[in-house]
Amino acid sequence: MDNGGSGRGSVHGGKSHRKVVAIVVAIIVVLVAWAGYRLIDGYLHPDVAAVDDTINVTVADATVGDVEVTSVHTGKITADNEVNVVPKIAGRATSVNVELGQKVDEGDVLFMLDPSDVEAQQAQAEIQRDAASKGRSSASSAVATAQEAVDDAKAAVKDAKKGVKDAKAALKKAKKLPSAPTAGLPGATPGTGQTGQAGQTATSPVAAAEQLVAQAEAALAQAKAGQKQAEAGLTQARSGYDQADAQYRLANEGVNSAGSAIGEMTVRAPIDGYVTGLTVQRGGMVSQAMPAAVITGTGKIQVRTTVAESLVGGLVKGEPVEVFVRAVSDEPFPAKISRIVPAPPTGQTTYPIIIEFDMPSEELKPGMFAEVEMVTAKAQGAVTVPSDAVIIRGGKEVVVVMDGADRVRVREVVTGIDDGVSVVIDSGVAAGERVVTEGQHYVNDDTKVRVAS
């Protein structure tokens, strides 16, 4: 009886358990179905939320102030009297008397070149000069001889002129004498010079005087011809002397040039200073195309640098600058612009400038690297806005200006210099107006904005 009762209770308990499980599964299925429905419905019918189209922006005031644009240029510290020693004559170095870093005085021998070739040239030039000297002496004697011939010819012309004058005077006198018969010549007409019976010619004083005049004039013509010939000879002799003298002068210049070249074989220090460059070696060839040594003076030091053509117009001689020499100090050394070269070197586009230190330090040495920071443009009392406020739209520079509490206007502006922080506004914005510095890329005229605190 007891065993049968226990079996019925077990069967009843199993049915209750299955019923509970079925209910739980049904609930789970309903919940999943409801969640799926809500998900699909939300996807097909999303909630429409209100859209806030207000743009957040940051603003700043346009102010009146000064703007300076600085630029940094690099260079090296040099002495103001640094000299490159370039030999005037190429040759082989026979001795080098200095070392790199050695102190030298003006006139000290740096090195010497082999003079043998130049000495040979000088000897040849002296031979040519001696030959030219003899030729000039001979030409000078020829000129003297030709001058004597001219003088003699002039004297002969003078005598011939006097003969003509005397003959003409005699003729004039003869014409004044009375006619007379010629003695011992029968049949002759007195005073006519006609032939008498004996076949002889009777000559009157007038005829004789005329004959003397003709002879004197012929002698004068011959003397003048002789003078012209003598003068031509003198001209030729003088031309020969000029040629000989030119040859002598040329030969003498050759001797002097060779002598000067021998003097150039000894190369000396042009200034007091230190040998900071030395490329010459004993036995080596020295060229005229490059410095054989560099002498750095012991005077002032300076910085040499260059600036672009767009910046040189803003520089002024005497204007202060700051020089940083990092090898010595992180603090700048005060200096000033001492020279602005008005034109760039041939083949370059940058303009050299020279910077001098106000109070040079003994720590500063020639050859050290330097950075020169200088003001290349400035504006005083100008309307300025933050550089970030200016943007480009449609190829034009514009600024977004607050128009009331929450609206903006886009304005075209004309800008001046910009130091990277502030930019000068030449026109388009007035001092005191508020400009947008962040968010201006996303707004247009009348866009509603919210100024960030």
Q: Are residues 138 and 234 in the same domain?
A: yes
On the question of pLDDT at 6 being above 60, the answer is no
* pTM (2 d.p.): 0.45
Q: What percent of the chain has pLDDT over 70?
A: 88
Q: For residue 286, is it within any domain?
A: yes
Q: Are residues 166 and 239 in the same domain?
A: yes
Chain-centroid distance of CA 197 in Å reads 109
Q: Are residues 158 and 272 in the same domain?
A: no
Q: Give the pLDDT band of residue 202 (cuts 50, 70, 90).
A: low
pLDDT value for 123 = 86
- Split into its structural domains, the chain has a count of 4
Q: For residue 341, is it within any domain?
A: no
Q: Give the pLDDT band of residue 321 (cuts 50, 70, 90).
A: very high
Q: Residue 67 — left, alpha, or beta (φ > 0 → left; ψ -120 to 50 → alpha)?
A: beta
Q: What is the pLDDT of residues 278-290, one digit of tens each?
A: 999 999 999 888 8
Q: Are residues 169 and 256 in the same domain?
A: yes
Q: What is the pLDDT of residues 153-177, one digit of tens each?
A: 899 899 989 988 988 888 888 888 8
Between 200 and 307, residue with greater pLDDT: 307
On the question of pLDDT at 377 being above 70, the answer is yes
Q: Are residues 148 and 239 in the same domain?
A: yes
pLDDT value for 74 = 93
Mean pLDDT of 25-32: 79
On the question of pLDDT at 116 being above 50, the answer is yes
pLDDT value for 297 = 81
DSSP string, 326-394: TTT-SSPEEEEEEEE-SSPPTT--SEEEEEEESS--TT--TT-EEEEEEEEEEEEEEEEEEGGGEEEET
Q: Are residues 410 and 286 in the same domain?
A: no
Q: Are residues 21 and 120 in the same domain?
A: no
DSSP letter assigned to residue 401: E
> Which structural domain, as residue segments, surrounds residue 12?
1-49
Mean pLDDT of 282-302: 86
Q: Which CATH number is 61's domain given? A: 2.40.420.20
Mean pLDDT of 229-252: 90
Q: Are residues 20 and 32 in the same domain?
A: yes
Mean pLDDT of 29-43: 73
pLDDT value for 340 = 93
Q: For residue 325, is it within any domain?
A: no
On the question of pLDDT at 107 being above 60, the answer is yes
Mean pLDDT of 201-207: 73
**Poorest-confidence range of 37-41, 118-122, 438-442?**
37-41
On the question of pLDDT at 5 being above 70, the answer is no
Of 264, 282, 314, the one marking the end of a domain is 264
| Burial class of 36 by CB neighbour count within 10 A (0 to 12, 13 to 18, 19+) | exposed
Q: Are residues 31 and 124 in the same domain?
A: no
Q: Are residues 255 and 128 in the same domain?
A: yes
What is the overall mean pLDDT for the chain?
Answer: 84
Mean pLDDT of 363-376: 88
On the question of pLDDT at 80 being above 70, the answer is yes
pLDDT value for 27 = 82
On the question of pLDDT at 19 being above 90, the answer is no
pLDDT value for 4 = 46
Q: Give the pLDDT band of residue 42 (cuts 50, 70, 90).
A: low
Q: Are residues 26 and 106 in the same domain?
A: no
On the question of pLDDT at 191 being above 50, the answer is no
Q: Are residues 159 and 222 in the same domain?
A: yes
Q: For residue 187, is it within any domain?
A: no
Q: Residue 404 — left, alpha, or beta (φ > 0 → left; ψ -120 to 50 → alpha)?
A: left
Q: Give the pLDDT band of residue 388 (cuts 50, 70, 90).
A: very high
Phi/psi at 382 (5° precision): -105, 155
